Structure 1
Amino acid sequence: MRPFWLVLNKRAVLSGLVLLVLLALIAWGGGRLMPRGHGKMQPQEMLKTALERTKASGSFRYQAETRLTTAGKSSVDFFSQVEGERVAPDRVRMKGLLMNTPVEFIQVGDSSYFKDQQTGRWITLPGNKLADSELFYAELNPLAYFNFKDIPELKYKGEENVNGEKLLLLEMRPNLMDPFLELRLTDYYFKVWLSPADCRIRRATLQARDKYSPQNGIEINLRFWDYDKNITIEPPAVN
């Protein structure tokens, strides 16, 4: 009987080991499919949390690049390329290229300030909150692109290494809340990268097609950093 029981015990041990290996593989695979620290979140909940935390930030810095596209390919020339800072609730500073022209802008409360690039003097426009204008969303208020009416298609694509930083990738096709953004453009497609540490937006790419010329469109690349940092934006000295 002793050899028989040894064989049975070996089989039981081997079966147990196989089961443990399978459980370990399942747990490992599950960890890869869902983000660390947000493992119980569904994509909808993950996105909702990211939008709430990002929009609730007291300050942040951002970079925005806008290009026109033809037949799905980006134009070599930048339509705009800027870097900026925002401090809640109504302070913005931006500098860069707008339609390939140097521009520098400051918004404090209800007053806007433009810098004359030829003279170096600041020009004030009191009573104008241009930072909230639909015409300059990408350059002055990039989070306005994340006001969604609904999101028919949303997928979590896992972790992705972006410039040495591990981020969580969501892909979606939303309908935007602002009718101005859908006046000329349609078929929006977003890729949004979130930080696994605080579940806030770090990067985003937006693509949309022209309603009246579907082979043409627009591509916007956004980057966000320095959330809740001590950023000071004051009105410039106006001559």
Structure 2
Amino acid sequence: MPKTRWFILNKKVSLIFITILIISILGIVKGYQYWQQSKINPEELFYSSLENTISASSFRYQIHTELGRENQASTVKGKRTPGRIYIQGTLQDTEFELISIDDKTYFKESSTGKWFAVTGNKMIESDLFVELNPLENFNFKDIPEITYQGIKKLGEEKLALLELQPNLNNQFLLTRFSDFSYQVWIDPNRKLIRKAIIEAKGLQGEQDLMKIGIELWDYNKQIKISPPQPDQLTLPD
């Protein structure tokens, strides 16, 4: 009997020790996470990440836009490399596909599957390209306040979440919306913007709302964007 009691006592002591050890480890981990988060400077993190994002040599992206009053939604996917852009998606229930290379822009005709070319870089400067360029949504006059909301998971990634209410320098958006609020997910190690959700109020009433979701990935990777083959082009009359 004494041996049995000693065994039970040893087992209880072991369980208590293991429990204390687990609690201690969890406390250390949480303390380390808090220490790591306390080191983050929201302003420095955002501006460094914005600069790295804008100066990236290449990336892929997706933009999803919802307009409340008009009950419209559009989704576009694209990729950018130096001097080259490829975009595909749906705008106002109309599918489109385009390629821009240097000073020439190619548009695909959905009815024939053929491409036609427009020479000159004026298309890049048009409102259409402003709307489809994810970086234009980060064109700010200033940002009065940036707040850090902690580390959040996006898929398998752990990203820093920032919230900001900037004053925009984007005339395309300012002509229709106001009171912009941003949630921005940033890779704190590489200092690159990975995701953003933008919400704004329209100028036509409470139901006139806008929500834009942006995702960016494959930064500085080898991305190929080629012009259409000659036999795919519609020749001018």
How far residue 183 of structure 1 moved from its aligned partner, in angstroms, is 1.5
Q: Alignment RMSD, CA only?
A: 2.4
Q: 1:220 aligns with which of 206, 212, 220?
A: 212
Equivalences for residues 128-147 of structure 1 within 5 A: 128-139=121-132, 141-147=133-139
How far residue 224 of structure 1 moved from its aligned partner, in angstroms, is 0.5
% identity of equivalent residues: 38
How far residue 32 of structure 1 moved from its aligned partner, in angstroms, is 5.5
Contact 2:130-2:172 within 8 A present in 1 as well: no
2:75 maps to amino acid: Q
- Per the alignment, residue 104 of structure 1 pairs with 97
Q: TM-score, normalised by structure 2?
A: 0.79
- Per the alignment, residue 125 of structure 1 pairs with 118
How far residue 196 of structure 1 moved from its aligned partner, in angstroms, is 2.2
1:183 aligns with 2:169: no
1:168 aligns with 2:160: yes
Distance 2:207 2:89 in 1: 28
2:77 maps to amino acid: E
Q: 1:115 aligns with which of 108, 116, 120?
A: 108
Change (3 A) 1:198 1:212: same
SS in 2 for 1:152: coil
- Per the alignment, residue 35 of structure 2 pairs with 31
- Per the alignment, residue 49 of structure 2 pairs with 50
Distance 1:29 1:159 in 2: 9
SS in 2 for 1:47: helix
Q: TM-score, normalised by structure 1?
A: 0.79
Distance 2:34 2:61 in 1: 33
Contact 1:138-1:220 within 8 A present in 2 as well: no
How far residue 214 of structure 1 moved from its aligned partner, in angstroms, is 3.5
